[in-house]
Amino acid sequence: ARTGDDEEDASSQRETGGGSLERIYSSTPPELRLHLAPPNANAASPLRVFVVLDPLGKDAQRLPPLIRMMQEELNAEISLVLRPQRLVARPLGGYYRASAVAPAPPGGLAALGHWTGGAPLLRMELPPRRGQLLSAQLLAPEAWLCSPVESGGADLDSLPADAPSGSVGAKVKVHYVLEALFLEGFAEEVIAAGAHWQQYGRPAAGRQLALVPLGGSSTSAGADSVVVKSGYFQLRQSPGLYRLSLRSQNQEQLLRPSGLVQLTDLAGRGSSLEARVGQVQGVAALQHSDHPAPNEASESFEGIGGDPYVCNETLHIFSVASGLRYERLLRIMMLSVRTTTKCPLRFWLVENFLSPSFRRLLPGVAKSVGFAVSRVTYKWPAWLRPQTQKQRVIWAYKILFLDVFFPAQVKKVLFIDADQIVRADVRELWDTDLHGRVYGMVPFCGSGPPASLASNIWKSLSGNGGADDLRNPETAGFRFWEQGFWKGHLRGQMYYHISALFIVNLEAFRSTGAGDTLREVYQSLTGDPNSLANLDQDLPNYVQQT
C-alpha cells in the first residue's frame, strides 16, 4: 500500500522520467527520429513507447516488427530515436523478416485438434552478392522444436547469393513444422513424513525423469532426461497429456507432480515444472500408483545388423553433420562402419542441423545398409551463454550435452566425425578399457610427456632416438599445442587430444557430473569472446585434469 505522499513521489518520478525521454527525443536531429501516431485517433492510447535504437545493431532488424505490432494492435504512440554507434566490425551478417503465428484457440486439447496453426507465407527478396553463401535459419519461440521438412532440394547451409535469376537456387522455398514442445523444470530432493515434506534444499541431480504418454511408454529419445547439477531438467514431446515418471533403482518416489502434465501452451512462453523426488517414510519402495515405472523392455534402443554369431552387443555411434556436402560424407562414414563392423549398430544424429532431404533419405538408408538410427536434440538452456556462429554451435552440441542427449539405457557412445572413413572393426575402440575415466580420446602426435607412448613411437621410427627428427619443420607454426597458452597449460606433461574420434563412458560421465563441469567451465571461459577457438577440442583438453 502507498500513502498519499508515496503516490505524489511516484507521480513526480514518472513525470521526470517522461520529461527526460521527451527531451532526448526533441533534442535529436530530425533526420534521426521518427514519430508514429496512434492509428486510431478517436480511441485512447494506453501506451506511449520510446525506442532508442542503433540502426546497425544486431537487434535493429528484429525490433521494428514488434514496434509495428504494438502500434497496430495496442494503438500505441511510438517515438523512435536512432543512435548510431562507432563501427568496430561488420555490423550485420544477415537478413531478417518476422511473421506472426496465429494464436491457438481457447479450449485446450479439444480445440487444438481442429487448429491448423499455420503462419502466413514469409517472402524475402535479396539483392545479389557475388561470391557470398547464405544459410536459412528459423528463429522460433524458445519452447518450440521446429524443423524444415521441405526445401526443394536446396542446401539451406549453402545458398548462393549470386544465383542468376531463373536458375536453380535463385528461388528457394522452405517449409518448417513444429515437431514438439520443450518442457523445462527443476527437481529437488525431499523426505515425506506422513502429510509433511521435509526439504533437503538440494537439487535431485542425477535422477532420470521421463514423460510417458497416457496408455503408452516413452519410446522416443528426448522423452526422458537426466537432472543436471543445478536441478535443471529438460524434456520434449508433442502436445498432449503425460505422466512424469521417475526412473530409480533406489527407494525413491516422485512426490510432485501428483497429477498429469499438460503440454498444451503453444504461445511460445514455454512451461516450467517443479518436481520433488524423495522417500516416503514407512512406505514400501514402489513407484507411486499415479506414476508407474516405464516398461524397460519396450524402451530398449538396440541396434540391428551385423553377424549375431560374432557379436550381439549394440554399438552406439554418435555424429553430427550440417549441409548437403557433410551429409554425403556422413552416409559414406555410416556405410564404412557397417561394412567393417560385425556388431549391431545404432547411430545417433543431432537433428538440429539435418536437412529435409537427408531426413527423408535416412530411414531408407538405415534399412538398406543395416543399422538403426535415432535423432537427438537439446534446447540450448537460457542460462548458458549462447554461440552465434553456426559452426561453433555445432561444436558446442558435440561436447556440452553428452550427459543429457541419450536415454538412460545407453551406457557408452562412440563419436566419429562425419568426414572419416572407417577401415577396421570399431569394436576394438568400443572395448577399450577406460580405467574408470569418462573419455577415451586420440592425442596429437608429439604431444604429451617425453616418456609417453607417442614419443617412444617417434623414437622407434626415427631409429636414432630423436623425437623431432620426423616432424616436418614446415608445420612448426601450426603445432599450437607446443607454443603460447597451450604450452604453458599442458606443461609438457599432458596430451592435447583431437575431438574427431572419441569414446564416452556415459555412466561415469553422468555419475561424476562431467557434463556440469564442462558447462560451468564453458560459461566461465566464454566471457572472453577470444577463448575456446576450437571449442569442441579446447574445452575437454582444458579440463582434462578436473
> Is residue 545 pLDDT above 50, yes or no?
yes
Dihedrals phi, psi of 353, to nearest 5 degrees: -110, 5
Kindly state the cell numbers that stand for 32: 534521426
Residues 6+ apart with CB under 8 A from 282: none
Boundaries of every domain in the chain: 7-82, 179-298, 315-444+496-542
Task: Give the CA distances from residue 220 to residues 36, 247, 284, 375, 497, in Å, rounded to whole numbers and listed in that order.
Answer: 50, 15, 30, 9, 33
Helix (H, G, I), strand (E, B) or coil at 319: strand
Q: 37 - beta bridge partners? A: none
Cβ atoms within 10 Å, residue 420? 16
pLDDT, residue 349, reads: 95
Q: What is the pLDDT of residues 434-461, one digit of tens each?
A: 998 999 999 887 777 766 655 566 566 5
Q: Which amino acid is at 348?
A: W
Prediction pTM value: 0.81
Which one is the CATH code of 315-444+496-542: 3.40.1350.10, 3.40.50.2000, 2.30.110.10, 3.90.550.10? Answer: 3.90.550.10
Mean pLDDT in residue range 495-501: 93
Q: Is 501 exposed, middle or buried (0-12, 13-18, 19+ CB in 10 A)?
A: middle
Identify the CA nearest to 506 among candidates 411, 374, 434, 397. 411
Task: Compute the distance between CA of residue 349 and CA of residue 113 in angstroms, rounded to an integer.
Answer: 31
d(C-alpha 437, C-alpha 239), whole Å: 39
Write phi, then psi, for 51 (nearest 5 degrees). Answer: -125, 130
Coil vs helix vs strand at 414? strand
What is residue 266's predicted lDDT score, i.e. its pLDDT? 66
User: Which fold is adopted by the domain 179-298?
Assistant: Immunoglobulin-like (2.60.40)
Strands 48-53 and 77-82: parallel
pLDDT at 47: 86
Report the 10 Å Cβ neighbour count for 111: 12
- Dihedral sign (CA 497, 499, 500, 502): positive
Q: pLDDT category, 280, cuts 50, 70, 90? A: low
Cβ-based neighbours of 205, under 8 Å, separated by 6 or more? 227, 228, 229, 230, 231, 513, 516
Quick: pLDDT tens for 130-175: 888 888 888 888 888 888 989 888 888 888 888 877 776 788 899 9
pLDDT average, residue stretch 362-386: 92
- The mean pLDDT value for 283-292 works out to 42
Strands 345-350 and 315-319: parallel
Residues constituting the chain: 546
What grid cell was written down for 224?
526422458
Residue 287 has pLDDT above 80, yes or no: no
Helix (H, G, I), strand (E, B) or coil at 140: coil
The string of DSSP codes covering 29-46 is -GGGEEEE--S-TTS---
Q: Are 208 and 227 in contact (CB under 8 A)?
A: yes
